[in-house]
Structure 1
Amino acid sequence: MSNQLLNYLKDNNLVLTTAESCTAGQIIHLLAQCEGSGQCLDAGYVVYSENAKKRLLGVRQETIEQYTLTSEEIAREMVMGALKDSLANVVVSTTGIAGSEPMDGIPPGTICFGWGFKLKNEVAIYSETKRFQGARADILSEAAKYALAQIPHYHRISQTVK
């Protein structure tokens, strides 16, 4: 899957930055294992703590208070922050709960994703929430793979935006 995605990124002149909380760098790690990935990777932010999300990506305290850290709103702000200071034209973000206990009433295995694409005069951002089952390591691995697998889907949608 990673090699297929790498070819897609190359074919579409896409350069990726990741903004990862719960997946802690697994997304960019998956792609970095592929030969030639340097052409398509710009940066990988690992922003595990609330403070890091605010300091490095500009996530707003008001958004955290209104929606919690596990929300599509946070995933979207992470995308915007990563796009702002990156040479990338595509960003994927993750934030969620991989542990075995709920947080803020949100069940374990809940991961919020964000995908952003720099277009000519605007940015297209997409987000979704998905729940994964299994042990922590399985949840994180599946979430990282899912985040990458959806890049072509959302990129194609972004190309239809006028």
Structure 2
Amino acid sequence: MKSGQMAIDFLKARGLVLVTAESCTAGQILAILGKVEGCGECLELGYVVYSEDAKKNVLHVRDETIRTYTLTSEHVAREMALGALQKSKANIVIATTGLTGSEPMDGVEPGTICFAWGLKHNQEWRLYSETKKFKGTRSEVQVDAANYALESLPKIYHRLNSDA
């Protein structure tokens, strides 16, 4: 709950409204935030797009991007973030895609999570993405990745909001 309270306080203080686009975290980001009283002031919508088809059909992730970079890639996370922003009135987004299972897939090790954060700045969308490796069970990786996404929000916001 600590990361959720911190994120809600941060969003409220800046008048930000969040949309999420989650795959491997399976709604954990929104679940953490939803436990915080008053979260409705700064949450608009959460997408859980677990399958490849959902990513393509709901958030308009391009088939070419998936074929070229695989589902566990920053490229896919960035397209998920943009797709969520384009379908939302929110002004900030967090997106996750990755591998929480116990077996490698497409050359990607378990626990590999790709994140994308986006912010509307001076009538343009700015994106930042990164990949991080987590250890633990499937559910531990999901919760740890969700907390990381929320705890990173202030740092990423300041990076995206700078005019530099």
- TM bracket (short chain): over 0.9
Q: Indicate whether 1:137 and 2:129 are aligned.
A: no
Unaligned residue ranges in structure 1 (runs of 5+): none
Residue identity in the other structure for 1:7 = D
Unaligned residue ranges in structure 2 (runs of 5+): none
Q: Indicate whether 1:95 and 2:74 are aligned.
A: no
User: What does 1:51-90 align with in structure 2 at a 5 Å threshold?
Assistant: 51-90=53-92
Residue identity in the other structure for 1:154 = I
Please give the root-mean-square deviation of Cα atoms over the aligned residues, in Å: 0.8
Tell me the residue number matched to 2:5.
3
Residue of 11, 15, 18 corresponding to 2:17: 15
Whole-angstrom distance in 2 between the partners of 1:61 and 1:159: 30
Whole-angstrom distance in 1 between the partners of 2:163 and 2:104: 37
Residue identity in the other structure for 2:69 = Y
TM-score normalised to structure 1 length: 0.98
Seq. identity, %: 54
Q: Indicate whether 1:32 and 2:34 are aligned.
A: yes
Shift of 1:38: 0.1
Q: How many residues align?
A: 162
Shift of 1:146: 0.5
Q: Indicate whether 1:156 and 2:161 are aligned.
A: no
